[in-house]
Amino acid sequence: MFSMATIKKLAVVLGLAYGLAFSLAVRAQQAPGDGPRYTSGTNLVRPADYREWPFLSSGLGMTYQPSARSESAPPSFTNVFVNPSAYRSFMQTGTWPDKTILVLEIRRSDSEASINKGGRFQTGFAGLEAHVKDSQFPDGWAFFNVGTAESAAPLSGANVATCVECHTKNAAVERTFVQFYPTLLEVARQKGTLRSGF
């Protein structure tokens, strides 16, 4: 038979094991991952902490048609961020996993303020777009114009046609412009995941 002391020890060990299992379960619930979150199934919730995500690059005044060049409008910066788990996966494989969310933050620019005498620096927020890889969408990817909203529906129809066309035709890895994200470009080159032509 077990002595009372043995039973007490067993009770303590079981109690500790239960406590550990419980705290792990709670932690799992609290950390649902850093991928896209939705309301109503497909409306992307604005990623509150995207400014803490890996930074891929900034474009300055990038335009895509010769006629769109306007010397009078000051150029904007486009800052690109990606959720940390997708970034780590890209560094291993050179491609994006399901539940990747890339954010394009648009900021106005200025020059010759404070001590600055040349070049341009970033100023006010001017827009937020997202590009999400998620198998729940018909072709595996969706675009969102989030702006300052709490959540946004996937762009559809005529609103997304030009986005899809340009990204599909011209982007270096899947639908993403890795050719303009220098650290990723190096990885994609090593892993051989660049679209042919790059």
Taking CB under 6 A as the binding criterion, the range among 13-21, 84-92, 162-170, 185-193 that sits at the site for ligand HEC is: 162-170
Q: How far apart are CA 55 and CA 68, in angstroms?
A: 27
The single residue among 86, 130, 142, 172 that binds ligand HEC, judged by CB under 6 A, is 130
Return phi, psi of residue 121, to 5°: -125, 165
Contacting residues for 116 by C-beta, under 8 A, at least 6 apart: none
By CB under 6 A, residue 193 contacts ligand HEC: no
The single residue among 44, 142, 146, 163 that binds ligand HEC, judged by CB under 6 A, is 163
Contacting residues for 165 by C-beta, under 8 A, at least 6 apart: none
By CB under 6 A, residue 145 contacts ligand HEC: yes
By CB under 6 A, residue 131 contacts ligand HEC: yes
Q: Which of positions 54-83 make contact with ligand HEC (CB under 6 A)?
A: 57, 59, 62, 64, 78, 80
Tokens 């940390």: give the residue: 84
Judged by beta carbon, residue 78 or residue 83, the one nearer ligand HEC is 78
128: Cα within 13 Å, side-chain hemisphere: 20
Tokens of 87: 């970034």
By the 8 A CB rule, do 175 and 152 touch?
A: no
The residue ranges that bind ligand HEC (CB under 6 A) are 57, 59, 62, 64, 78, 80, 102, 104, 129-131, 143, 145, 162-163, 166-167, 176-177, 180
